[in-house]
Each structure stands twice: as C-alpha cells, then as structure tokens.
Amino acid sequence: MKHKLVVALAGNPNAGKTTIFNNLTGTKQHVGNYPGVTVERKEGSCPYGDTEMKIVDLPGTYSLTAYSEDEVVARNFIIDEHPDVVVDVIDASNLERNLYLTVQLMELGVPLVLTFNMSDTARIRGFEFDLEKLSSFFRAPIVETVGNKGKGFDQLLSAVNAVAASPPSRNFGEKIIDYGKELEEELSIIQEMIEADQALVQKFDPRWLAVKLLENDKEVWGKVRSLPLEELVAKSTAHIRDILGELPETAIAGARYGYISGACQEAVRSTVEARHTMSDKIDAVVTNRVLGIPIFLGLMYSVFQLTFTIGDPFMGWIETFFGWLGGMVQGWWPEGSDSFLQSLLLDGIIGGVGGVVIFLPNILFLFLAIAILEDSGYMARIAFIMDRIMHKIGLHGKSFIPMLIGFGCSIPAIMATRTIEQRRDRLVTMMVTPLMSCGAKLPIYALIIPAFFPQAWYGRMLWIIYVIGIILAILSAKLLRSTLLKGEAIPFVMELPPYRLPTIKGVLLHTWERGRLYLKKAGTIILGVSILLWAMTTFPGLPDTLSSRYVQERQAVEMANLLDEEKALQLENIDNQESQAALRHSVAGRIGTAMEPLLKPMGFDWRIGTALIGAFAAKEVFVAQMGIVYSVGEADEESETLRDKLKKNYTPLVGFCIMLFCLISAPCMATIAVTKRESNSWGWALAQLGGLTTLAWVVTVLTFQIGRWLEIGMG
C-alpha cells in the first residue's frame, strides 16, 4: 500500500510554478474551485517510489498578507489543511523579489522545500549560489530545477519525501526574523496577551499572530474577536508610527527584505558586471512608447490571419463529415418522410451541435497562439504597454490583465479581477471585460466572415472586430470612472518576467484544456439549448387549413403540363414557402416576429432575432440556431452550406452588424451569474446585462443606418 502525501506548490506569478505542476502531474490533474470562492483549484497526482503525492497548485501570489482573494486562498490552504510539504517555487534569476514569500512561509513554520527554478537563466545572468548557506538561512533544502527542460525533478521529489519523513522541528513562538527594537518590543507585548488566551493559542502560533495583527491583516482580524487585543494593537501601531514615521506593515516588510538582502549578500555572487539581458533588448523594442501598441496590433492581426488560414482545411474536413453524417441519417427514412425524430437528429442535433463543432479548429489554433504568447512572457508586456492608456481612464495595467484573459473566456476573466485591490477598479473591469471577444464569439465570426467577405479580408475583419471590442472597453471604462465609479487610481508597479521559450507540453496542455471545455460545452449546454430551440422552431406546426393549401398547390404543379426542370423549381419554391410559414408560426418564429420592430433598425429579421435569444445561453448557440432555422441538417453533401444560405439572404453590411451586436451585447447567462457573485450584487450584474445590450443596439443601429445611407456593404 502506497504512502500518501499532500504537497502544496506555492510561488510568485511567472516563477514557473505551472510548468513544474504540469511536469509533475502530466495528464493526471483536474481543475475545480476552492469551497466558497471562485479561485481555481488545480490538483494532480505524482507517484514516487512507494509514495503517492497529491500535488495542489496554489494560486500564484507575491506574499501571504491577504490583500487579494488569491492570497487568502493560498494562505488558508496552508494554515487550515496542513499540507505535508510546501514547495516554494522561486525564480532563481529574480531571487530577492521571490524570497519575500519564502520568509513568510518560514514564519508560518510549515515543512518547506525551496526549488530554485530557471537556474539556467540565473547562471546566464551571472549568478552563483551557495546553496548550503542559503538553505541554512531559510531553514529548508534547496533544489535547482529547469522547469521547461524537465531538469531537477528527481532531486525535488527526493527532497519532498525526505522533509515529509522528518519535518523540521520548531519552538513554539520562535523568533524567525528580528524586526528591530521598536517592533520587537510591541510584538512581545501583543504576544503576551495572545498567550494568555488559550482559544487563540490552540489555533495560531502566538508570534505569527502578533505579526499579522500588527500588519493589520484584515483576514486574520476577522478570525480574532477581542476588543482588548484590538485596543492594544491600535496603541502599538500609533507608537510605532510616531517613533519610526511609518506604518508597522511597512516596517515589517522592510525588515523582511533586509533579512533577504543580507542572506543574498552572504550566499549569492555575481560573476559578471550588470548588463542588458536578452529580455531587456527585446523589451527595448516591444514595450517602446511609440512601437509597443503597433507591434501588439500587428502581432494579433498575424494570429487572426493564421487562425483562418491554417484552420480552414480542418474546418472543411469536419464540415464534410457532418454533411456525410446528415446524409447517412437522412437515409434511415424514406424520401419525403415527415418524421419528428428525423428532424430532431438532422436539424436539432447535427445542424445545431455540428454547426458549432465545425469551428473547433479555429478555436484550437487561436488558443494555441494565446498559450504561446502567455508562456513566452509577452502577455505581461501587453499589460505593461496598455498601462499608459489605462492610467488615462483612471485604471492601471493590472486591470487589462483580466481583459486579456477575456479573449479566452469572460468567466475566468471576471474572476481574475479579484487581484485588483480597489473595489471600484474591480467593478469597472468586470463591467467592460465582456467586450473582449471571447472564444465563444469566435464561431460566430468564423461563420459570418467567410460568408460575406473575400478570403484576403478574413484576418483583417477578425482583427477589426477584436480591436473594436478593446476600444469600446476602454471608452466604457472611462465613462464609468468619470460618472458612477469616480476615484483616484492606485499606483501599481508591474513586474515583467523574463522571456522564455514555451514548452511544447505546456502549450499543448493549455490549448487542449480550453479545447476540451469547448467540446464539453458543445456536448452539454449547446446540445440542450439546440434541442430546446429545435422544439421552439418546430412546434406547434402549421394549422391544417394552411398545410392543406400547400398540398393542393403541389398537386396542381404535379398535374400541370410543365417541363421537368420548371416543375422541380416550382415544387422547391412551394416547399420553401411552407418551411418559412411553419417557422413563422412556431414559438420561436412568433417571438422573433414580435421582436422585429427592435430588430429592423439593425438590419435584422426575425430569424436572426431567434438566434440572438439562444445566444444568451451560450454565444455559440447563435450558430446552432441559424443552422436549425435554415435546416442545414437535412441537406446532403451536394447541398448549400449555412454560409451559402446566409450570403443569399443577407448583405455584407448585415453580416458585419451581426458580429458587432454579438460582440457588444449581453454576455452569456453564466457570465452574468459570475458578475453577480464577484460583485456580490444583482444590481451590477443586471446593469451589465442591460447596459451592454443597450450599447449594442445603439452602435449596431448607427452602423447599419450609416452604412445603408453610404451604400457600403449592400451588394
């Protein structure tokens, strides 16, 4: 029987923690949420000899002082769930910044292993480490690793196993760092009062708790209900501020960095003079004040062009497969059959879900490109580049990071706003993030663009729609910061990680994870909504009197003395008329018809209206519903595709307006629910729903009316 260990991976963002997690766990990992919060929880298993290690990837955090939800979750997991070992993943090329978290882990007294990741980069930069000295300073074994090359993992697992077998002893209330005369005097007074309260002593190490209270850690204060303690800490805080001229938390942070600096002076040697690294040379160009944004826009244009160019053949294969599948299923019934089951399979499932799955290649190639940009370190540069623009609208570059995540999905993007300290900044970012073109909107663009625009414009049109979203997000944020959510922006120093060569394994894992979620969505939510929409477009069916009229018209044509070709054309025309009449008479048709006064100014008809209703459940359902409306599922391999039918019924201007409305309008219902949960207010969630839909209607009406007046895209 295998011995089981729980190992927590902690570390700063961009230290390579995810790469190490992926290398240790491979495909044996799963993702969920921590109880009660929306922070992502990653777990995986890693066998080592007769030990089965459960690896928990904690949220990336710079410290354990709870300013953000990520920090709270990371710290609470360590304190409450008592992992057997905590592995602190450290960027060895940026040692002093990363060791701040290490000092806090030391103070917690957890069994600790330090991994100096990216040690090859540190050597290139001319750093040499006395690992024995550093290990004694930080009271933990140190292992050098190179995560993207898979080096050092055997030594890491061996160190974890050894620490778990014989965790280091620690004296109760032991002093790890000397915070200086003034702070230590106040800490000892606070510690003495804590030690007199047995309830607190059973839960917390007295010295650690004293430090946290003096740091004014709100999360810890929430767990400590003691008026005498509050009064004592307030008195100590005032005393320290009077003597040192700064708040206790600032003095404590300074003492920690002093400890780190002293340790590095003793045990770290630089073998070369300070010089510009390759990252610095690249940054001189890509983050340049003048060139930065054009380079970003050009790079995104290239990504979109490649997404269509590379993905198009794969889409054709999938389209051919579903055409063959539809023809095969249709062959199960005699020609002219009017079976509801046949209609459900062809129109509801193959026409609905199949119409969405066709765009999987585009989704995968776009996510692959985004994964490469993220893993290389360029995404952090985009936030840095946008920082100057964000400051002008009252935000900072940190708010642009959730927007970038929004290119994948709005739900994790809105969840990512929890790293923003100020509530009003969080709310602004949450409200405008759905204006980023998420992966769910890409199938709509991939349907519309090839239907209405020449191949040379595929990448350009996709680039244009993405840029419109970014511009509208910035303008909307400016409006909110100037009206409902006024206030000063907090200064923020953005750390730029060094560029790294993304690993094939890491990029493929990130791409597959997103692609898998897309397929899962197609097989669950979209399947369910497609069946519901099929029912809404099928029932209640035409009244007998109207149905009989079409039967009589067919009989009249059959009996008429006409050429076979002309007869076939007239019969097809009658079939189309009956199909359209049945759709208008259906539940979906009636809803769409009722909406037409609002739809017509945008150039839309009732068919588009019914698809927009379905898109509220999930944006991809728009494509599924258009497939159902135009009954693509009943076609054989020689029939027209959905794109052909759209091109026959609408103009390029209407096609562009569809993309514009889907870009801006209310996000899916899951996003609205997450906005409510993150803002803790239905008011803000409903404001997002109503505000974005109103904005979409206004912008789309103006675009269509001006375009029609100027006769642009009418042919």
pLDDT in tens, 89-106: 999 988 888 999 999 998
Using DSSP, state whether 567 is helix, strand or coil. Answer: helix
β-pairing verdict for 112-117 and 142-144: parallel
Average pLDDT over residues 528-537: 74
540: preceding bond cis by omega (within 30 degrees): yes
Residue from 50, 45, 55 nearest 3 by CA: 50
Helix (H, G, I), strand (E, B) or coil at 309: helix
What confidence tier does 690 reach under pLDDT thresholds 50, 70, 90? very high
H/E stretch holding 11 reads strand 3-11
Q: Can you tell me the distance from the alpha carbon of 97 to that of 73, in angstroms, rounded to the nearest whole number? A: 21
What pLDDT shows up at residue 163?
A: 93
Q: Which long-range contacts (CB under 8 A, 24 or more apart) does 334-340 make?
A: 340/538
pLDDT value for 636: 34
Q: How far apart (Å, rounded) are the C-alpha atoms in residues 96 and 93? A: 9
8 A C-beta contact, residue 382 and residue 395: no
Sign for the CA dihedral angle at 676, 681, 686, 692 comes to negative
Share of the chain above pLDDT 90, in %: 18
Residue 61 has pLDDT above 80, yes or no: yes
Averaged pLDDT of the chain: 81
Residue of higher predicted confidence among 368 and 156: 156
Predicted pLDDT of residue 16? 85
Asked if the model's pLDDT at residue 348 lies above 90, the reply is: no
Pick from 121-125, 146-150, 547-551, 679-683: least confident:
547-551
Q: Give me the mean pLDDT over the 426-446 stretch.
A: 88
* Residue 245 pLDDT greater than 80, yes or no: no
Cα torsion 110, 101, 255, 186: sign: negative
pLDDT of residue 638: 37
Domains of the chain with CATH codes: 3-165 (3.40.50.300), 181-270 (1.10.287.1770)
Taking only Cα atoms into account, the Rg of the chain, rounded to an integer number of angstroms, comes to 31
Q: For the whole model, what pTM was predicted?
A: 0.57
- Return all residues near 156 (Cβ < 8 A) that are at least 6 apart: 20, 87, 113, 115, 143, 145
Q: What distance separates the 2 farthest-apart alpha carbons in the chain?
A: 110
Distance between CA atoms of residues 535 and 4, nearest Å: 51
Residue 53: the pLDDT is 92
Where would I find the H helices in 128-277? 131-138, 153-165, 181-195, 198-203, 206-214, 218-221, 227-244, 248-267
Q: Across residues 125-143, what is the average pLDDT? A: 89
Q: Chain centroid to CA 110: how far?
A: 32
Tally: H helices and E strands in the chain: 34, 9
Taking only the tens place, the pLDDT of each residue in 254-299 is: 888 878 877 887 888 876 544 445 667 787 788 787 888 888 888 8
Segment 172-195, tens digit of pLDDT: 556 778 887 778 889 989 988 988
pLDDT in tens, 658-680: 999 999 998 887 788 888 888 88
Phi, psi of 362 (to 5 degrees): -60, -45
| Per-residue pLDDT at 320 | 80
Mean pLDDT calculated for residue range 103-122 = 90
Q: How confident is the model at residue 397, as a pLDDT?
A: 65
Query: Residue 565 — pLDDT band, cuts 50, 70, 90?
Result: confident
Q: Does 590 score more than 60 pLDDT?
A: yes
Contact 90, 102 (CB under 8 A): yes
In this prediction, residue 158 carries a pLDDT of 93
What would the mean pLDDT of 76-86 be, rounded to a whole number? Answer: 89
Q: Is the pLDDT of residue 445 over 50?
A: yes
Q: What is the pLDDT of residue 267?
A: 85
CA pair distance 362, 323, nearest whole angstrom: 19
The fraction of the chain above a pLDDT of 70, given in percent, is 87
Q: Which run of H or of E encompasses 33?
A: strand 29-33
Distance of alpha carbon 296 from alpha carbon 700, whole angstroms: 27
641, 695 contact by CB (below 8 A)? no
